[in-house]
């Protein structure tokens, strides 16, 4: 009798696990990508512009609308190749942050490219566009670059981990389902 109950319990357990796994995987975020990487020589600096694609999913949007702030960490580096080792000329990260103020029904977006002010809008699509766009970011002074020399521009983006109070980490376990990280995108350019 006991073994029959154990088998029935195990069968139900595995059935529940195998039916729940596809729904959990389906709610996992799409693979975010970086697109339209452009390099410009603007005066004294080399500047980069690009867009993040598929960096928001429905779970993340719902959490933001519930007041959970989200931050994208964008990592940029410029390397000079040599025979034995690449030398980094620039290596830094920046953080785009979005917060929703439910009382005022507005989104606040902080961009390090525009540190003088916080961008504010009531349109969620506009706020998402601000979060997923980097325009004319100075990367390295042009005086550091040599003519006809090859360089590598590398870019990566990831969702910064949400810092919740300890109690909420156990209740809001689903927050980890909307983490994303792009691959490294490398652009080889000749100055």
The DSSP result for 78-107, as a single string, is EEE--SS--EEEEEEEEEEEEEEETTTTEE
Domain count, the chain: 1
Query: Could you list the residue range(s) of the whole structural domain that residue 182 is in?
Result: 36-190
How does pLDDT run across 44-88, given as a tens digit for each residue? 988 999 998 888 888 888 888 888 888 888 899 998 887 777 788
Residue 51 lies in a domain: yes
Residue 12 lies in a domain: no
Residue 11 lies in a domain: no
Residue 139 lies in a domain: yes
Residue 4 lies in a domain: no
Residue 77 lies in a domain: yes
Per the CB < 8 A criterion, the answer to whether 131 and 72 are in contact is yes
Q: 33-42, 126-135, 136-145, 166-175: which range is least confident on average?
A: 166-175
Tell me the pLDDT of the chain averaged across its residues. 77
Q: 51-55, 58-62, 124-128, 174-178: which range is least confident on average?
A: 174-178
Residue 59 lies in a domain: yes
Per-residue pLDDT at 146: 87
**Cα-based angle 113, 115, 121 (whole degrees, multiple of 5):** 90
Residue 148 lies in a domain: yes
Token readout for 156 is 């990566």
């Amino acid at each position: 009798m006991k073994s029959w109950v154990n088998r029935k319990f195990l069968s139900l357990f595995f059935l529940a696990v195998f039916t729940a796994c596809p729904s959990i995987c389906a709610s996992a975020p799409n693979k975010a990508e970086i697109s339209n990487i452009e390099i410009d020589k603007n005066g004294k600096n080399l500047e980069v512009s690009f867009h993040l694609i598929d960096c928001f999913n429905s779970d993340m949007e719902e959490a933001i609308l519930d007041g959970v702030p989200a931050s994208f960490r964008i990592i940029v580096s410029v390397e000079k190749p040599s025979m034995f080792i690449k030398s980094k000329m620039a290596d830094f990260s920046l953080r785009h942050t979005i917060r929703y103020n439910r009382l005022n029904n507005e989104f606040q977006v902080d961009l390090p490219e525009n540190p003088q002010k916080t961008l504010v809008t009531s349109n969620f699509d506009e706020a998402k566009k601000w979060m997923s766009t980097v325009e004319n970011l100075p990367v390295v002074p042009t005086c550091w670059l040599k003519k006809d020399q090859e360089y590598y521009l590398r870019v990566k983006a990831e969702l910064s981990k949400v810092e919740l109070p300890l109690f909420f980490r156990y209740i809001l376990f689903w927050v980890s389902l909307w983490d994303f990280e792009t691959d490294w995108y490398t652009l080889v350019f000749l100055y």
